Structure 1
Amino acid sequence: MRTLWDVASTNPGLTADDKAAIDARFPPAPPTVSGPVEWVKLNEASQIVGRYLLPEQLDIEYPILLSLAARRGLSNLDVHKKSAEFFEPNANGDAVANGAAQAAKKCLAYLALLDDLQRDFIDTRNKRELRMEVARRLLGYGCILLVVAVLPFVILAVIATWQAPATGPGTLYSSNPVFGFGLVMAFGLLGAFFSRVTQFQTDSPALSFDQVMNSYRPDVLRVRLLVGMMGAMVFYFLMRSGIVGGTIFPKLSDVSLSTVSVLQEANGDTTVASSKPEASGLTILLPSTELAKLLVWSFLAGFSERLVRNTLDTTVAKAEQAKP
């Protein structure tokens, strides 16, 4: 821009005051930062300098900007391509005469294209900042929810360590009707959060301000997490009541934690499987198959709002048919 201005400053239409005012917009040394304020100043300087570019400069700069607009896929590119006729040579191959009217048309076409490009760059920058803001927000929520999901396992493992001698392996809490209810809610939250993360992965290349306001504001995220947790709770009681059942659903009476003995080789290397296994005296806690099913369905109930809604609609329809 400084180079363009050094040439454009020779424009005979410039007054001394105008030249001094534009010169003042250029810092004595190039800025060392590139923040929003610096870009605003640069855009303003570009627009002001563009009014005084010589016709020969416009002939060079306009095709450059037009090529940049084509690479960026400017929405109104066709309009600017049509304006390119002001810069094309005439039928004899000579440059179009640079009369006052023609020079004015060139200047207006250049400024219009420059303004649209600046808007496009600003929009791109805003979208990039929106994506970063949403990504940071989701990262924070994700870390918290992972702790919430793991915490019940830690609590159950500690309790299992205390009570295992009395209850025996594989029977811990299996007779309790609300066993794992905290895990159900935690995995419902994880499912709801995962649905938002996957949506963000899809939306992020063209994330708009309206999408952020409608889907990723903190209040909206919390409502989505609440819906996921409630959906998992409702689906849990649908399975507990027997309204939803089958081999793919957990048998809640068998939901438990299992203890598995760790084996080791004769030389003392601890492994789960060995050609010459022997008891190491160590045990680990693992969720039973039924507990794993319960957590998967809790996650799905939180992930898919339609799962619980469709199940409830089907249940209501069956109840209506069963009326005498």
Structure 2
Amino acid sequence: MAYKNPQQKFQGKIKEVVLGEGLKLGGESVLPFYSFDGDIGNTPKVGMEVWDIPPVDWPEGLMNIIKDVADDPAKWAKFYTEKYNPDFITLRFIGANPDTLNRSPEECAEIAKKVAKNVDVPLVIAGCDSNEKNARIFTKVAEALPNKNYAFLSAVEGNYKEVGAAVGLAYGNLVVAESSVDLNLAKQLNILLTQLGVKPERMLMNPGVSSVGYGFEYVITTLDRIKLAALEQNDTILQVPIIMPVSFETWKVKESVASKEDAPEWGDREERGIAMEVSTAVGVLTAGANAVILRHPRSLDVVRGFINEMVN
């Protein structure tokens, strides 16, 4: 008798959410890349990170790539889309941080409008380190860019009412629910947003990410538990696509920050950062992330190549 490969069937399915005009996330009814079991949904997407201010501590090789555009986020975003073809651009408002330029929400909105006008890919809007200020930034940016299906990273427990009401209800964009590497916290925030009136098909999740080597096993097991609850237990609250800002974490750890002079045995700083970014991205993609945010163009090439190998 010929061997027949057994298939693992699930009751649940991750909702399909559209970012921008047509970038589809989610839609899978099996575990990540398990095409032999069923429908893997939409191919995971990869975005690139753009700041509203020129970086000062990025590796020299990366700074050389963006040196002619780093002082203008609209030009920077256009350069990335034309040269590297990311699925989306993440516009991160580092300049709104009170410790940097302390940009006003109104200034951020004007910058976001210019970036949106200059690129033909969807945007993910990310704030600064202040959740309180992020709520005001997101409100103004969503108001300036209504009904775009852009994703706002993120709504957290401390600001979800303001972010959810403005981004998801008033101005027709997507709300990203961010929690701290815990299935129950992730589920609770999703419940709170839906009780506020945000529809699940207007939501994404960021259940928390860290760099490899920094509690990463908790990130992976949390992703595993979320996906299994959504698919195996048909938990509709957790059937939301996952986006993870990998670059936000991997480029701030010591392996990516320490200079070659301070740690000569570790080798080139830029190579280390790329290795940390790629390793983290591949890890979360195989555990269930539907989209990742990266910083280095070489990381984008490697991760995209990995995804293509897995789905083809």
TM category, shorter:
under 0.3
TM-score by length of 1: 0.20
Higher relative contact order by CA 8 Å / sep ≥ 6: 1 or 2?
2
Of the two, which has the highest radius of gyration? 1
Structure showing the higher helix proportion among its residues: 1
Structure showing the higher strand proportion among its residues: 2
